[in-house]
């Protein structure tokens, strides 16, 4: 994860390199949909740091703020093969070089309003950067779905953060934008993970502590790799685990092998940062 990167410090002259290619700074737009303001928090951080234009995607008929009511409506819409109607954008997407698209992860991918958006706009030739908030993961799957919807767009590496870790957004976004050539600044670059090995009892305990209390993740770690981060003040673990559904939770994901990333900072309890299914 972005917060766990810290071995080699480098300086990214991204904006300067983009100016050299285009003769001027690229024009950037941050589009986002947010139901609970989590994604809005990330969108505002990105737009502020880049001095980019920003616009919220809104629905003609907004979702109910009650969780279950929203889930029920989404399920009904999915069964009918429809997506919610969104209000017209004020921004003219064609005028921008770089478009950041933000959303919460629902049902393993971007929220339905983004599906509607992608059917209405043409991102051909544009640099597109997805960002999202989630309970456990979904950046990789949603980025893949976005690329399938807009095959002529240049989809860049995205940024994702658990809703439980919004306090990490400021530093992580700063690093993410510098590392991916969108802003000047120093950023932390980690060494690659070494080859995984079978988990020890101590490593299994770290994994269990990190996922404890999260109801949608019932998994057992089988292998792991780790690397030092934060100038030696922390460790990031990449666990391979088997995610198994519980009999009392039929809505949990089917059994599968997953990757779970865990961050252990000095004097802090282990936390998982994302799950890749």
Residues 248-267 pLDDT 10s: 666 655 668 999 999 999 99
pLDDT of residue 186: 80
**Distance between CA atoms of residues 34 and 56, nearest Å:** 8
Q: 277 pLDDT exceeds 80?
A: yes
Q: 130 pLDDT exceeds 60?
A: yes
pLDDT of residue 182: 95
Which comes out higher in pLDDT, residue 32 or 243?
32
Report the pLDDT averaged over residues 148-152: 98
Please report how the helices 67-80 and 112-120 are oriented relative to each other, as an axis angle in degrees rounded to 10. Answer: 50
> Residues 185-231: pLDDT tens digits?
888 788 999 999 999 999 999 999 999 999 888 899 999 999 998 77
Q: E strand or H helix at 133, and its extent? A: strand 127-134
* CA distances from residue 234 to 131, 139, 144, 266, 269 in whole angstroms, order as listed: 25, 24, 31, 5, 11
Q: Is the pTM of this model over 0.85?
A: yes
């Amino acid at each position: 994860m972005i917060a766990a990167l810290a071995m080699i410090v480098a300086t990214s002259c991204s904006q300067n390199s983009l100016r050299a290619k285009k003769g001027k700074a690229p024009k950037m737009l941050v589009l986002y949909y947010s139901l609970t303001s989590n994604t809005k928090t990330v969108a505002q951080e990105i737009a502020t740091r880049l001095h980019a234009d920003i616009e919220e995607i809104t629905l003609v008929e907004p979702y109910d703020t009650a969780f279950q009511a929203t889930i029920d409506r989404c399920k009904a819409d999915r069964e009918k093969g429809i997506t919610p109607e969104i209000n017209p954008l004020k921004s003219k997407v064609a005028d921008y070089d770089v478009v950041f698209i933000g959303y919460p992860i629902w049902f393993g991918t971007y929220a339905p309003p983004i599906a509607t958006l992608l059917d209405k706009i043409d991102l051909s030739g544009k640099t597109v950067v997805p960002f999202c908030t989630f309970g456990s993961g979904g950046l990789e799957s949603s980025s893949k779905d976005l690329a399938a919807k807009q095959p002529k767009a240049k989809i860049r590496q995205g940024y994702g953060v658990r809703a439980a870790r919004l306090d990490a957004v400021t530093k992580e976004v700063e690093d993410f934008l510098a590392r991916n050539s969108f802003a000047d600044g120093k950023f932390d670059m980690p060494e690659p993970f070494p080859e995984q090995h079978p988990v020890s009892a101590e490593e299994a305990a770290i994994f269990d502590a990190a996922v404890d209390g999260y109801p949608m993740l019932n998994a057992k770690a089988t292998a792991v790799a780790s690397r030092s981060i934060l100038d030696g003040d922390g460790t990031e673990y990449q666990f391979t685990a088997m995610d198994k559904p519980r009999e009392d939770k039929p809505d949990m994901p089917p059994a599968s092998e997953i990757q779970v990333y865990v961050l252990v900072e000095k004097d802090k309890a282990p936390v998982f940062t994302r799950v890749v299914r």
